[in-house]
Amino acid sequence: MKPKEILVFGASGQIGRHLIRKLTKNNYKVIAVTRNIHQKGYILKTQANPGYLEIVELTYFNLEKIKSLLDECSICINLIGILFEKRKNLFKNIHTDFPDLLSKLSAEKNIEKLIHLSSLGIEKSLDSNYAISKLEGENKIRNNFKRAVVLKPSIVYSVDDNFTTNFMTLLNRLPFMPLYYDGKTKFAPLHVTDLAQIIFDVVEEKTNEHTIECIGPEIISFKNIILKLLKTIDKKRLLIPLPLKVGKMIARLFEIMPNPLITVDQINLLKYDNIPSGKYKTNFDIGLKANKIFDEEIEKYSYNWRTGGQFSRDKFQKN
Ligand SMILES: NC(=O)c1ccc[n+]([C@@H]2O[C@H](COP(=O)([O-])OP(=O)(O)OC[C@H]3O[C@@H](n4cnc5c(N)ncnc54)[C@H](OP(=O)(O)O)[C@@H]3O)[C@@H](O)[C@H]2O)c1
């Protein structure tokens, strides 16, 4: 049987890398699209066996090129996303206009399926431009292409993330940790391999749902996430609830940096719980499990942030 071709946009990111490994190991051929083959080629080409991965450079949304790539594939997966805006890299372009274009072209080319990654907890976040743009993107996709599947994950974590790893770095460097909204915002953290399995199950048609909220097995508040990270890196830090005005002033300063740690838009988003809305089914509702436990998984890589590294724990010191 000829392996199916899967076209992946945003393949070099955290989710993309894990997904490419899963797909190619299971005999799918992947075409991975990146903006910069010189920077991302090294990361991408090690994710699959020779013959299973083609890397394509697309520096801008070239309509003819996208059409010809869609001609080659049966399934397209869109993982492109940004956390903050910089110059012309705007939420609207990335989260609304591109999904709009891709879903129109997917319909025109009559491909088998378009899988699009949106986000959980964005329905009520009307003061976050990130959330608004993601929600509009979802709606465009649903209107344009009937065979589209929208996946809405809570926070996705792994050693390759920008979440637990950034916070462990911060907790190492700062004597205290500021908490927005008293750290009460709730998340349903999902390990990246569990999400890759869910996407794989959608590819394999294990479900007919068109929108799935993707969550891990636990609901954890932001404060408890920070406490768990502190425990696993063997550090004690003061957790200080930050008045919103002060928090936003600091975020405005961060926004000047090329890669801001936090933005005002993200603070606005943090106000809303990142847990199932009740509007759509979750992966658990349709029998797609995500069993990785947050404490157990972060323990596997947190030694990188622990003083003394992997051999600093008691069990090594006693031997
Ligand atoms: N990670 C999470 O916790 C989480 C939670 C909910 C939803 N999601 C969504 O899931 C998707 C994948 O997330 P991820 O964590 O894997 O993201 P990521 O690691 O930040 O990777 C995103 C990819 O998007 C591409 N990209 C970024 N800006 C672009 C632009 N201006 N034009 C074209 N491509 C661009 C990059 O590819 P190149 O640099 O190779 O071009 C990058 O590999 C995103 O849509 C994200 O919003 C993620």
Go through the domains of the chain in sequence order and give each one's CATH number. Answer: 5-158+187-219+274-292 (3.40.50.720)
Range 100-118 average pLDDT: 97
**Helical ranges in the chain per DSSP H:** 14-25, 37-45, 63-72, 91, 98-109, 129-144, 164-173, 192-203, 222-232, 244-254, 264-270, 294-301, 314-318
Range 269-294 average pLDDT: 97
CA-proximal residue: ligand 1, atom 1 (nearest): 156
311 pLDDT exceeds 80?
Answer: no
Range 187-201 average pLDDT: 98
Whole-number average pLDDT of the chain: 93
3-state SS class at 8: strand
Span from the CA of 94 to the centroid of ligand 1 (angstroms): 10
- Ligand 1: atom nearest CA of 155 is 3
> Is the CB of 132 within 6 Å of ligand 1?
no
CA distance linking residue 316 with residue 319, whole number of Å: 6
Distances (CA, A) of 116 to 75, 104, 125, 207, 301: 11, 13, 20, 15, 29
pLDDT score of 3: 58
315 pLDDT exceeds 70?
Answer: no
> Is the CB of 86 within 6 Å of ligand 1?
no
Span from the CA of 133 to the centroid of ligand 1 (angstroms): 14
Residues 6+ apart with CB under 8 A from 205: none
pLDDT grade for 25, boundaries at 50, 70 and 90: very high
Distances (CA, A) of 153 to 77, 109, 216, 301: 15, 27, 9, 22
> Is the CB of 12 within 6 Å of ligand 1?
yes
Contact 7, 102 (CB under 8 A): no
> Is the CB of 117 within 6 Å of ligand 1?
yes
> Is the CB of 103 within 6 Å of ligand 1?
no
28 pLDDT exceeds 90?
Answer: yes
3-state SS class at 212: strand
- Ligand 1: atom nearest CA of 15 is 16
CA distance linking residue 70 with residue 297, whole number of Å: 36
pLDDT grade for 218, boundaries at 50, 70 and 90: very high
pLDDT score of 122: 96
> Is the CB of 80 within 6 Å of ligand 1?
yes
CA distance linking residue 244 with residue 96, whole number of Å: 29
0.85 surpassed by pTM: yes
Higher pLDDT, 170 or 218: 218
Mutate to test the pocket of ligand 1, among 8, 22, 35 (most ligand atoms within 8 A of CB): 35
Span from the CA of 86 to the centroid of ligand 1 (angstroms): 14
pLDDT score of 87: 82
pLDDT score of 61: 82
Of 242, 262, 244, nearest in space to 254 by CA: 262
Of 95, 185, 74, 89, nearest in space to 141 by CA: 95
Range 68-74 average pLDDT: 95
Phi, psi for residue 25 in degrees, rounded to 5: -60, -25
111 pLDDT exceeds 70?
Answer: yes
2 pLDDT exceeds 60?
Answer: no
CA-proximal residue: ligand 1, atom 8 (nearest): 119
